[in-house]
Structure 1
């Protein structure tokens, strides 16, 4: 990874996006100090001075892609991103509606913009009209001009396609967010059915349910072997050392061991969860007894 600022600047200047980024951040908004923000029949709309901001689209998509791979809450970020996309589409559509209304003439018929010359009122009305049209959940005035008919037809088609896609994506993300919970619940239901079928006592059934609840509450229901299996051996070793090495050092028989041996032991560890009152070291004591018997024979 290159971190030298000089090399980074040279590489960025050679990048074709350098010119586009420069154009997109030019302070064209200063034109409003001279032209104002009023827009009516005798004064053209100065919105053209902000069109250079559209050149930031590629950077916006790049930001979303990088953030989605780095965030710890990918599903929540995806839903937020889709909501942001919806707002952008509604905003752009509102701008097109206002521009067509301006070209036809304000208040010339019942379809075009009806209202005051105040910028706030103009934007709110256009945004409201755009939301109703794209979502197809409300009724608007019947268009009169041919250009207005064409625009409304395109709006309906685009709105149906885009919002159907968005609703489908949101449904899939919500399903993914609850997938872990559904899998846990299905496993728990299967265990309950098995215990009932085998006529297991209430005490043992309660212990089993509490064990499952503990796994879920502590987020230990993940399949570590499946998750770690996607990583290379070096990363698996580093993660295992970070998770288990300090715990392993607390065991008295491993405190004087070399680090290489501890690393090998860490890679062999597997997560096991025991209920209160369970024997954890019974097998180790039996093994120690067997080793003593073997040594006594020699």
Structure 2
């Protein structure tokens, strides 16, 4: 049997299913046990069967921990047996069914057997540890942000904790015994929620003559205060960090606005600055590609640049059919640029110090203020002044929001010397521009 990639979509779907199964198993089975409704029926054995199938699949799924990948069957199985295999085995044990066969329903037992049933329930809770490991798998396979994973895990555990506190309230006899089981559970759930949230209304309270209920209430109230403090201290920051790029963008925009006001920049220029950042956010989510790639190894940044610029490579004639080594080196030298509507990218008469490759938008070429032509995505411009070592013979103005890449004169000359085919193509483009 072939190994299943850890990030295969079917494997990720299975992990999501197991998260739901663990939560549903805990909610349903513990509810049935507390209300003496549990029987090892078909649904119960389906749950147990899914846990066993998950163990089998783990033996045939590759593993990724941080930057370490394990893909060989032997190392995968050895790692699994040494880590979570035994925990998964305990989680898959049908202890609830075994106890039912040996002693029958919980309500008909003495205190000793009731304690054993509570032990069985605690083994049921072991499955929650399995849920924690599944969340880690999903973070690796789906690329979930750590803040989002922590928030989801917190919500998952909160549901479980409120459910267990409600069952504890039922178990100590703090709800009306004459009501149906669902009514008692809902009232216990209501009490648990209001108590944990520290907003208890006093309509459901412990029996003042029952010390156990008083002690249980005190413990849950203390837990509720801690939970409330945790929520205030952490959840707001977790939510804010779900979109790190947007948070950083807003902070940077606040700094820019403060600068514009402090320096008393004219309002029309302030508006252009804000429009620029708005466009930058829409196109790049506020993240500078080249700045991020500078932190990567050269080979990795080249691969990412080739992927990001695959459309450019298809549009720009200069790169079509070019040598791969030339494309990789050129991509490393290009600097991304954003051009605003009406912005002069090149001024006629200035000394040429770079050339451009347009990737999106449209620019117009002006000679003595008159439009000569328009260029679209994939067009190079500004190379004539570099080849002839002279002044710009035309102006280039961005018509709308445009993006492109800038190649400096020194890098341009270096590529011409190292790659004769690039130099020949540039000479051909310049000759064609002169004829036109």
* Global fold match (TM > 0.5): yes
Q: Does 1:186 align with 2:186?
A: no
1:11 CA drift (Å)? 5.3
Q: Does 1:56 align with 2:127?
A: yes
Partner of 2:279: 214
Partner of 1:25: 92
Partner of 1:94: 166
Give the direction of change, closer, same or farther, for the CA distance of 1:135–1:238 in structure 2 (3 Å limit).
same
Give the whole-Å Cα distance in 2 for the aligned partners of 1:175 and 1:255. 44
1:224-235 map, 5 Å: 224-235=289-300
1:31 CA drift (Å)? 6.9
1:29 CA drift (Å)? 5.4
Q: Which has the higher strand share?
A: 2
| 2:212 maps to which of 136, 147, 157 | 147
Give the whole-Å Cα distance in 1 for the aligned partners of 2:128 and 2:156. 13
1:1-298 map, 5 Å: 1-5=69-73, 8-9=76-77, 12=80, 14-15=81-82, 17-28=84-95, 30=97, 49-69=120-140, 70-72=142-144, 75-101=147-173, 112-116=174-178, 118-138=180-200, 139=202, 140-142=204-206, 143-176=208-241, 177=243, 179-187=247-255, 189-190=257-258, 192-193=260-261, 197-199=264-266, 202=268, 204-280=269-345, 283=352, 284=355, 288-292=384-388
* 8 A contact 1:91–1:127 mirrored in 2: yes
Give the whole-Å Cα distance in 1 for the aligned partners of 2:188 and 2:287. 49
1:16 CA drift (Å)? 5.8
Give the whole-Å Cα distance in 2 for the aligned partners of 1:42 and 1:128. 30
1:260 CA drift (Å)? 0.7
Give the direction of change, closer, same or farther, for the CA distance of 1:38–1:10 in structure 2 (3 Å limit).
closer
Per-residue CA deviations over 1:6-57 (Å, capped at 9, x if unaligned) read 7645654x43643332232234555799899895999997676544321123
Per-residue CA deviations over 1:115-162 (Å, capped at 9, x if unaligned) read 435331232122222112222211342443333332222222222112
Give the direction of change, closer, same or farther, for the CA distance of 1:97–1:264 in structure 2 (3 Å limit).
same
Partner of 1:108: none
Give the whole-Å Cα distance in 2 for the aligned partners of 1:268 and 1:32. 70
Per-residue CA deviations over 1:146-181 (Å, capped at 9, x if unaligned) read 333322222222221122112321111233346235
- Provide the aligned C-alpha RMSD in A: 3.6
Per-residue CA deviations over 1:215-252 (Å, capped at 9, x if unaligned) read 12223421334533443333222211211254135322
- How many residues were matched structurally? 280
With normalisation by structure 2, the TM-score equals: 0.54
Q: Which has the higher helix share?
A: 1
Give the whole-Å Cα distance in 2 for the aligned partners of 1:81 and 1:21. 19
* 8 A contact 2:306–2:328 mirrored in 1: yes
Per-residue CA deviations over 1:197-232 (Å, capped at 9, x if unaligned) read 2436x3x55433322221122234213345334433
Bigger shift: residues 46-55 or 121-130 = 46-55
Give the whole-Å Cα distance in 2 for the aligned partners of 1:130 and 1:37. 26
1:261 CA drift (Å)? 1.4
User: Where does the alignment leave 5 or more consecutive residues of structure 2 unmatched?
Assistant: 1-68, 356-380, 391-436
